[in-house]
Structure 1
Amino acid sequence: MKSQLKTGMLLCGGILGGSAAAQTEQPNILLVLSDDQSAFAVGCYGNGDIVTPNLDRFASEGVRFNRAYATSPQSVPSRASIMTGRSPVAVNMTRFNVTLARRFRAFPEYLREKGYYTGVAGRGYHLDGAVSGRVGRIKEVEQYYIDHGYKTFPERLDTCMIVADARKGACHGQINDQFRTFMARRDKDKPFFLQLSYSDPHHPYDAPKLHDPASLTLPEFYPDTQAVREYLAAYYDEIHRLDSDFGEVLQYLDDHGLAENTIVIFMGDNGGAQFMAKGTLYENGIKVPLLIRWPERIPAAVTDAVVSNVDLAATCLSAAGLPVPAEMEGENLLPLLTEGAEPEERYVYSVRSCHATNSLPEDTSVFDQMRCIVGERYKLIYNLLPGQPWVPVDFAKTEMFRELARMNESGQLAPRFGKLYFSPTRPMFELYDLETDPHEQRNLADDPALRSVRDDLILKLTYKMIEDEDFATLPHPKIYERRENLQ
């Protein structure tokens, strides 16, 4: 699966290499994050069922990344990587009720030091202690965070505006109101950076109905029931609402003459609350939409390069003409974006850890431990709790999923779906050939012909976990050799 850049127009020469960056007017940077959106859920990614005209048009004007991965299938760890350019494990952000420690700097801080007006707006930015509803004695814990200096983002940025829960009905409009407030409040003599975080398409789904459940083409790993169709249609409805809100933001930039010198990045923070998605390390859990537009600086293109959300920090700093701190592990994507530079072979990593809960963990929806490594062709998943069954995040208690459970118990559910979603255990290692099996339906970890591939990925993952000082047990290949000798 060789990386390639398919370009609709050519750019003569690089624009931000070396000293040229410092001579270029610093661009505004608008980072737009959707909440729980898998890459498959956008029209420009080949989905003919979903209605996303603004995202599709935006993609045609910039670069669409076909293989962009999140460092976690969960919001808090993923967004920590976006802000720091580092693994969520390396910055101790693998659980929800934790704040980003002062010793770990967010890349907007570097922009602010060099003259940018910076801010976050929209749904809670997930980095300053997502406490509410997730621990006992909420008020006391919130106050402890404040009294002891754990909440740091109001000091790191010029403006912090939060919609604590914008998932109900018309409340979603508050996010674009905050965008306009930021734009009015900012220092007009400075370039700006803003992370604008939408709540859509996070579960529960409450957007106006638009998509017809009966007309949808279900992914091959979706059981075909009326309830499943309605659930997927409702997810698409959420994304259509998000698309409309995003269109308003783009129109604002056009109307105020800001579009030309504003880098707009649209990305999903992690996969949606769907099958084989959020809370898992399968493609729909960690492969997300990534679209980047910078008029007249970045040619319209589509790329299959393997990239990660950990790359955004280095890319934004480089676009602003700033050096990338040594501790940041992400790649600067500007050579790829501006020149179509062929990237070297790349491996990216993702982590599944604790999830939001207001009680002790009862199942793997709220407490699971997984790690994975993704290359150009193969992916390896390491399950640290193989003896525990998978339980979906956010929709385990829906009537849709309960119906599937009843069907499985009564023998009405096709065996392959029973194995996928109701197996009492999971394998320790999963190996997938993403070229021949993009939906990850055939685990090749036990295939003798791919033993060297499997062991090489296990070793690379081991090295990464060592570098990050990961708290999880290392997945050394000897684990597998011992298991095989016992068979």
Structure 2
Amino acid sequence: MKMSSVKILSRALSILFVMVISTQAADRPNIVWIVSEDNSIHYHDQFFAGGAKTPNIETLATHGLTFDHAFSNAPVCSVARTTLATGCYAPRIGTQFHRRYQLAAMPEGLRMFPAYLRNAGYYATNNSKKDYNAIEGEGVWDESSNKASWRNRPDPDQPFFHMQSHAESHESSLHFGRDVFEKEKTVTDPASVQLADYHPDTPIFRYTHARYHDRIQAIDKIVGQTVAKLKEDGLLEDTFVFYFGDHGGVLPRGKGYLYESGLHVPLVVRVPEKFKHLVDGQNGSRVDGFVSFIDFGPTTLHLAGVHVPDQVDGKPFLGKGIAMAQINSRDETFGYADRFDEKYDLVRSLRKGKYQYIRNYQPYLPDGLQNNYRYKSLAYQEWRDLFKAGKLRGAAKQFFGPKQVEHLYDCEADPHQVNNLASDPRFADVLTDLRKRLQDTVKQLPDLSFYPESYLADNAMDNPVAFGQTHQAEIATLVDTADLSLLPFAEAEPKLREALKSDHSMIRYWAAMACTAFGDQAKSLAADARPLLTDPSLTVRIRAAEFLGLVGETNPQTILTEIVNTTDNAVVATEALNSVVWFRDFFDGRYPVTRSDFHPISKGADIDDRLNYINGVPYPPKTNPPRRRQGKPVEATK
């Protein structure tokens, strides 16, 4: 029986369609991300003198590019990974707090970038860490599990994107006890490591550093194994392989801090032979231009020939039409740090060229303020013990003192960032330029952290981007109020006095914080701040208590304890307990508290962590139930 002409045409069109799809697949690269947790450039000899040798990663580089200036925008997992997944600055979209109290809604019309790859026919897999602070939505991954692999795709000709994360280098690898320190030898000789300028030179610090070199070398083996699998599958020369760290390193003053040690990550991209035409650069070369996590998703989409959504903040740095000269002209990156578990601090940074500018909006809070998870490390514990014993000098002591409102570092001359140039008149022009650039950035985003987290949780999280746009002018006013602390006090004093009496609670909030930043200089404003101890806003009361406690005008613990014990808002209680611990630990015993002082109405993981610390309960307490927050389980991995 002869086929009808309609059937013949239909079959021909079907065959043509399959041929077109197959041709498209053959013309599109695969992309693999290999992500090591918690390590900065400082632990890779390929990037920083004295780091561990990583021959497999170095071999990747001979077949591709080494990026000398790649940055996470945040120095902690969940914020960094949400930035990767969205291509957006976290303070703009409400995802800036680590161990979120509430997931942020994604910006309207935007999905996490793997969803766009799937729409374009890619097989997208994640093995397996997510840790997002935003609502993921449906259709982001074909599979996300510890079994996810490109090898599971139903069609062997289907292009794929695969992300795999490795915890062998995670912070928890340094949570060993004294028995391990005393009995387990490291492969790396502790005597051979080069300690950071700010670390005390002790056997524990040397052992910890050497142990972490061993972890980096374990990551290097994983990279080699992954490349071997791609080669075994005949896919290596069809596949871009990215290797990078997910944020800074885990020795003290790395992860969680906006120094280079917290943000500057290793990045190597292996370029496949079949798709060399998509990269304007010679294999084995080093890229000087700045790239950051907002750019990684857009770059992956662009390499795959997929349109980059307009709502993202990042820009591609590889792919068709992108010249290496253009990439090397990029010399700026923005960083952010907010709450890490129970520890609050508000810091922003901008690096341009060799200079990094850091703006400490709560400079009175020491970097060394208690964070239970961080202080599981023997090195952290020893560092604090040495401080308490008065045995630290110079750079090693800085970690436990108040910070300056502004820091300026020459990252080339001072790679460990211990010499603050902000008050050096020779760098006044650099300071002024970077200060203005950062001010413009936080206003233009706009940066939602100029409201306290408790306010955002109640008012913004259903649509953080829209909230920010609606309140952009107000946020700019709050930035200006915060920046009164940058003025000479004589010039700032009348403006602060007026701001303390503002009808707007958030202006009062920032005026009180600016007073605390001035410290004893602002004692003349104590009478103006005292009424804020009974302010309708609990967060304003917290800031007033900080200022008046710092200058010795009241016992802050009385106000702070009352807030913790009476609020039904877990976020407010966590904000207050941050100040409670600061006063308890850094004021020579003037403001003691005990666990029996607290009987909070509101319960939460961060509240429990603070109260357990005050009570001397080791972290994590073995008898506690699983950590929960507002009725939802929270991942155990930090």
CA offset digits 1:347-404 (Å, max 9, x no partner): 2111101223xxxx3xxxx222111111112211111211111127643243333323
Give the alignment's Cα RMSD to 1 decimal: 2.6
Partner of 1:101: 105
Please tell me whether residue 121 in structure 1 is matched to residue 127 in structure 2.
yes
Matched with 1:190 is 158
Structure 2 residue 386 is the aligned partner of structure 1 residue 407:
yes
Matched, 1:112 2:114: no
Rounded to whole Å, the distance in 1 between the matches of 2:216 and 2:310 is 37
Deviation at 1:448, TM superposition (A): 2.6
- Call closer, same or farther: CA 1:302–1:24 in 2, change over 3 Å: farther
TM-score, normalised with respect to structure 1: 0.79
Displacement of 1:280: 0.6
Other-structure match for 2:470? none
Alignment of 1:242-281 (within 5 A): 242-281=219-258
Q: How many residues align?
A: 418
Match of 2:487 among 477, 481, 487: 481
Q: Determine the C-alpha separation between the residues in 1 that align with 2:71 and 2:339.
A: 19
Q: Which residue among 400, 406, 423 is the counterpart of 1:422? A: 400
Tell me if structure 1 keeps the 8 A contact 2:363–2:404: yes
Task: Spell out the pairing of 1:136-215 with structure 2 (5 A cutoff).
Answer: 150=135, 152=137, 155-162=139-146, 178=147, 181-205=149-173, 209-215=186-192
Pick from 422, 439, 444: which aligns with 1:445? 422
Give yes or no for the alignment of 1:223 onto 2:200.
yes
Correspondence 1:354-373 to 2 at 5 A: 354-356=339-341, 361=342, 366-373=343-350
Measure the CA separation in 2 of the matches of 1:322 and 1:352.
Answer: 31
Partner deviation per Cα, 1:320-351 (whole Å, 9 max, x = no partner)? 11222212221221269975324434321111
Which amino acid in structure 2 is aligned with residue 348 of structure 1? T
Answer yes or no: is the 8 Å Cα contact 2:37–2:165 preserved in 1: yes
Judge conservation of contact 1:75–1:270 (CA < 8 Å) in 2. yes
The question of 1:34 aligning with 2:36 is answered yes
- Partners of 1:128 and 1:152 within 8 A in 2: no
Long gaps (5+) in structure 1? 1-21, 130-149, 163-177
- Judge which range, 223-232 or 373-382, deviates more: 373-382
**CA–CA separation in structure 1 for the residues paired with 2:386 and 2:143:** 51
Could you tell me whether the CA contact under 8 Å between 1:262 and 1:294 is conserved in 2?
Answer: yes
CA distance in 1, matches of 2:487, 2:430: 14
Structure index of larger Rg: 2
SS of match in other structure, 1:290: strand
1:353 is aligned to 338
The residue that corresponds to 2:609 in the other structure is none
Distance in 1, Cα, partners of 2:142 & 2:68: 34
Task: Report the alpha carbon displacement of residue 110 of structure 1 after superposing the two structures with TM.
Answer: 1.0
1:196 and 1:414, CA in 2 relative to 1: closer, same or farther beyond 3 A? Answer: same
The one-letter code matched in structure 1 to 2:72 is A
- 2:537 maps to none
2:89 is matched with 87
**Match of 1:264, SS?**
strand
Alignment of 1:457-472 (within 5 A): 457-472=434-449
| SS state at 1:187 partner | coil
SS at the partner of 1:248?
helix
- Distance of 1:210 and 1:282 partners within structure 2: 28
Moved more, 109-118 or 208-217: 208-217
Counterpart amino acid of residue 120 in structure 1: N
1:78 aligned residue (56, 77, 80): 80
User: Cα offset for 1:306?
Assistant: 1.5
One-letter amino acid of the structure 2 residue matched with residue 108 of structure 1: P
Counterpart position of 2:368:
391
Contact 1:43–1:56, Cα closer than 8 Å, also in 2: no
**SS state of the match for residue 349, structure 2?**
strand
Q: Which moved more, 1:347-356 or 1:198-207?
A: 198-207
* C-alpha spacing 1:161/1:335, structure 2 compared with 1 (3 Å): closer
Instruction: Give the conservation status (yes or no) of the 8 Å contact 2:258–2:347.
Output: yes
- Post-superposition CA distance 1:91-143 (Å, at most 9, x none): 22112235463444111111111111112113x211167xxxxxxxxxxxxxx
Q: For residues 355 and 252 of structure 1, do their structure 2 counterparts lie closer, same or farther at Cα, with a shift above 3 Å needed?
A: same
Partner of 2:310: 326
How much has 1:71 moved relative to structure 2? 0.8
| CA 23–185 in structure 1, closer or farther in 2 if over 3 Å, else same | closer
Distance 1:25 1:99 in 2: 38
- 1:10 — aligned with what? none
- Cα distance 1:470–1:159, how it changes in 2: closer, same or farther (>3 A)? same
- CA deviations 1:439-484 (Å, max 9, x no partner) are 2121121223333322222222122222322123455565412447
Q: What is the CA-CA distance between 1:437 and the residue it aligns to?
A: 2.1
Deviation, structure 1 residue 158: 1.0
2:350 is paired with a residue of what secondary structure?
A: strand
Q: Distance in 1 between matches of 2:420 and 2:449?
A: 23
- Corresponding residue for 2:298? 314
Q: Which moved more, 1:444-453 or 1:379-388?
A: 444-453
CA contact (8 A) 2:25 2:158 kept: no
* 1:27–1:443 distance in 2 versus 1, CA, 3 Å: same
Go from structure 1 to structure 2 and tell me whether the alpha carbon gap of 1:49 and 1:433 turns closer, same or farther (over 3 Å shift): closer
Q: Give the letter aligned to residue 399 of structure 2.
A: Y
> 2:167 is paired with a residue of what secondary structure?
coil
Gaps of 5+ in 2: 1-23, 177-183, 451-477, 493-520, 522-638
Tell me the SS of whatever aligns to 1:90. helix
C-alpha distance after superposition, 1:187-211 (max 9, x if no partner): 3231001111111311222798321
What is the distance in 1 between the residues matched to 2:87 and 2:317? 13
CA distance in 1, matches of 2:490, 2:332: 27
Shift of residue 263, structure 1, vs aligned partner:
0.8
Q: Which stretch has the larger CA shift, 325-334 or 106-115?
A: 325-334
Distance in 2 of aligned mates of 1:267 and 1:49: 15
Q: Residues 336 and 401 of structure 1: is their aligned pair in 2 closer, same or farther, counting only changes over 3 Å?
A: farther
Task: Output the CA distance in 2 between the equivalents of 1:45 and 1:194.
Answer: 25
CA contact (8 A) 2:75 2:255 kept: yes
CA distance in 2, matches of 1:338, 1:347: 18
The CA deviation at 1:151 is 5.5
DSSP-derived class of the 1:45 partner? coil
Question: Counterpart of 1:40 in 2: which secondary structure?
Answer: helix
Letter aligned with residue 346 of structure 1 = D
Match of 2:351 in 1: 374
Classify the secondary structure of the residue corresponding to 1:455: helix
State the TM-score, normalizing by the size of structure 2.
0.61
Q: Secondary structure at the match of 2:41?
A: coil
Deviation, 1:49, is 4.9
Aligned twin of 2:52: 50
- Return the letter of the residue paired with 2:437: K
Q: Cα 1:234–1:186, aligned 2, differ >3 Å: closer, same or farther?
A: farther
Mapped contact 1:118–1:158 kept (Cα < 8 A): yes
- Mapped to 2, the partners of 1:458 and 1:48 lie a distance apart of 33
- Contact kept, 8 Å, 2:94 with 2:448, in 1: the verdict is no
Name the amino acid aligned to 2:28: Q
Displacement of 1:37: 0.8
Aligned residue for 1:454, secondary structure, equals helix
Identity %: 28
